[in-house]
Amino acid sequence: MYDELKYWYLRDHKLFKTLSSEQTKQLCIISGFKKAKKGEIIYFSDSDLPRIFLLKTGSIKIVSLDEDGIETIKDIIQKGDMFGELSLDSDIQVNEYAKVLTEEVSICSFLLSDFEDLMLQNPQLALGYTKFVGLKMKRLRNNYTNLVSKDAKTRLVTFLKEWAEKEGIFDNEKVIIENYLTQNDIAQIICTSRQTATTLLNGFVDDGIIQYNRKEIIIPNLGKL
């Protein structure tokens, strides 16, 4: 029964659509599965073997700790996304871990080596995965460009728009976003200080462009942002 569940967890991910149920099951048998609650930390280095993770529901942030013990957000992973050793190399970042942002997340994982084997057997999967990694790089590069050429305000607007597009609940021009990020998180994502992010957000509220509280962000008119 448990295997069955895991099977389904993979099954409806677009990347695994091309696999026969036999192959998916093969991946499932060796895959781990877990749920975690808000604030919990998932260490990549828990298993000494490199893994690929698939976030089934919820959101997490990938955080790295630098020499001075300062947390930096590396990535926000959302429902349906994969994370872990995406570059398929096995050197695990010791000072990197994932932190759960939403109330609950469910994650399944499989060993990098098993995933590789499966890709070798199924070129379509390999191609799909390559495109997925490529897309991720494109997005990263985009962020990079924004960081260089746009100021903090523009970066915040861009971020809010993207967030709305990805996770917002639309009602005509109005969008509601479930706000599971602190202002500090947002600040880190757009690469600015917490204070600047706070000031900017409050500025938007004053201008009536957004409504903001700890639970949700409402954008009355996405076009106006």
Residue 176 contacts its own copies per CB under 8 A? no
Residue 21 contacts DNA per CB under 7 A? no
Spell out, one character per residue from 154 to 193, where the chain touches DNA: x when CB under 7 A holds, - when not. Answer: ----------------------------xxx------xxx
Residue 87 contacts its own copies per CB under 8 A? yes
Phi-psi label, residue 191: left if phi above 0, alpha if psi -120 to 50, beta otherwise: left
Measured CA distances, 4 to 22, 25, 34, 125 (Å): 12, 8, 15, 21
Interface of this chain with its own copies, residues 153 to 172, rule: CB under 8 A = none
- Cβ distance to DNA smaller for residue 189 or 201: 201
CB-count exposure of residue 152 (10 Å: 0-12, 13-18, 19+): middle
Give 60's DSSP letter: E
- The C-alpha angle 91, 102, 131, rounded to 5 degrees, equals 45
- Cβ distance to DNA smaller for residue 1 or 70: 70
| 93 neighbors 46 (Cβ within 8 angstroms) | no
Residue 201 contacts DNA per CB under 7 A? yes
Interface of this chain with DNA, residues 115 to 154, rule: CB under 7 A = 151-153
Query: Where on the chain is the footprint of DNA (CB under 7 A)?
Result: 151-153, 182-184, 191-196, 198-199, 201-202, 212, 214-215
